[in-house]
Amino acid sequence: DIQMTQSPSSVSASVGDRVTITCRASQGISSWLAWYQQKPGKAPKLLIYAASGLQSGVPSRFSGSGSGTDFTLTISSLQPEDFATYYCQQANSFPRTFGQGTKVEIK
Amino acid sequence: QVQLQESGPGLVKPSETLSLTCTVSGGSISSYYWNWIRQPPGKGLEWIGNIYNSGSTDYNPSLKSRVTISVDTSKNQFSLKLSSVTAADTAVYYCASSRGVWFDPWGQGTLVTVSS
């Protein structure tokens, strides 16, 4: 299985801050990576696909980059509705695997 | 747009079989891949497996010996069966669509507790 490791596990930030979350794959996955946002009690929501593709309806303050083994999710200016947990997911091979999550908390 | 809704018992006894159904509305199940994903309370996401409309399946090796995913195209539904459950199988179970790789959309999730 491909292991996905996110860092940090949690981050405290203020509204307006730039936030960067990283995800590392245990082997190369090209651009087969997605990012999801999950709010408490809700299902995850697809934000970014193919490492840098912005899902329809997702604000442009979210962006993704990377390829191979190292990826980043950036929120350019944190908004109140962005406080949530974020997961990366690889789609290079089965079984599909997720990172352990990064919780973005209010500072 | 496509919407998914999970249904099934919220409580299952240890050693029994967990059975859930996902109903697809707003689109045909005869396209794309259909997935089950679970999340233990307070923990991360685990992909269980998927099925294509042809009936072909892929399962997580960690669960493969206990999992069966099936599809009923006449009802626009797909189902999950997980046998010999233990407390470790307590989780929110989500169904989700994927065009092969990305999970979107998701159902709202259903909590299944394994307890006697």
Q: Could you read off the pLDDT tens digit of each residue along chain A, which spans 107 residues?
A: 999 999 999 999 999 999 999 999 999 999 999 999 999 999 999 999 999 999 999 999 999 999 999 999 999 999 999 999 999 999 999 999 999 999 999 88
Yes or no, beta carbons of A87 and B102 under 8 Å apart: no
Contact B47 A98 (CB under 8 A): yes
**8 Å CB contact of A36 and B62:** no
Residues A11 and A106: beta-carbon distance below 8 Å: no
Rounded to whole angstroms, the Cα distance separating A29 from B51 reads 23
Buried b (16+ CB within 10 A) or exposed e, B27-48: eebeebbbbbbbbeeeebbbbb
Rounded-to-integer distance, Cα A32 and Cα A23, Å: 12
CB pairs under 8 A between A and B: 52
Greater model confidence, B32 or B41? B41
pLDDT of A69 = 98
Q: Is pLDDT of B100 > 70?
A: no
Predicted local confidence at residue A27, as pLDDT: 98
A97: nearest CB among B47, B103, B104: B47
DSSP letter (8 states) at residue B27: S
* Res B81 pLDDT > 80: yes
**Is there a contact between A48 and A34 (Cβ–Cβ < 8 Å)?**
yes
Side-chain half-sphere exposure of B115, counting CA atoms within 13 A: 7
Instruction: Give the separation between CA A98 and CA B9, rounded to whole angstroms.
Output: 26
Q: Which member of A34, A44, A97 has the closest CB to residue B106?
A: A44
Cα separation of B13 and B87, whole Å?
A: 9
**CA-closest candidate to residue B66, choices B116, B105, B18:** B18
Residues B81-104 have a mean pLDDT of 94
CA dist., res. B76 & res. A83, Å (int): 35
> How far away is chain A from the Cα of B2, in angstroms, using its nearest Cα?
14
Residue of A nearest to B49 (CA): A95
Cβ distance of A46 and B44 shorter than 8 Å: no
- How far, in Å, CA of B60 to CA of B46, rounded? 9
- A100 contacts on B by Cβ (under 8 Å): 44
Amino acid at position A49, single letter: Y
Q: Distance (Å, rounded) from C-alpha A99 to C-alpha A23?
A: 7
- Nearest by CB to B47, which of A42, A55, A95? A95
Report CB contact under 8 Å: A89, B45: yes
